[in-house]
Amino acid sequence: MTLKQYAAKIVKAAKKHPNALVVHSKDDEGNDYQQVYFSPTLGHFNNREFISEAGCKAEAEDSGGKPLKVNAICIN
């Protein structure tokens, strides 16, 4: 799912339920749920690894290369 698709679903839900809490599931089976407390973080996602936008820039400075392209958003 892209951020644009996700945002459209969130906007629709927020209009209908503006005071709903935001929660996330620990796993695909729904074994545990927790409230989302943190703001979304932009970064680079590849092979099940996420590097924040700041981390991408720091790695580029250390290696002298270009920062990894932001291609994902971590919602918690």
Q: Are 43 and 75 in the same domain?
A: yes
CA 66, 67, 70, 71 torsion-angle sign: positive
Q: Is 19 helix (H, G, I), strand (E, B) or coil?
A: coil
Over the stretch 47-71, which tens digit does the pLDDT of each residue have?
999 999 999 888 888 888 888 999 9
Q: Which residues, other chains included, contact 53 with Cβ-Cβ below 8 Å and sequence gap of 6+?
A: 41, 42, 43, 44, 70
Kindly state the average pLDDT of the residues 13-34. Answer: 93
Q: Are 44 and 76 in the same domain?
A: yes
Place of tokens 């690894």: 49
What is the pLDDT confidence band of residue 22, given thresholds at 50, 70 and 90? very high
Q: Are 71 and 58 in the same domain?
A: yes
Token pair recorded at residue 56? 């991408």
Q: Are 31 and 48 in the same domain?
A: no
Alpha carbon distance 37, 41 (integer Å): 12
Alpha carbon distance 57, 67 (integer Å): 5
The overall pTM is greater than 0.75: no
Q: For position 28, what pLDDT does the model report?
A: 86
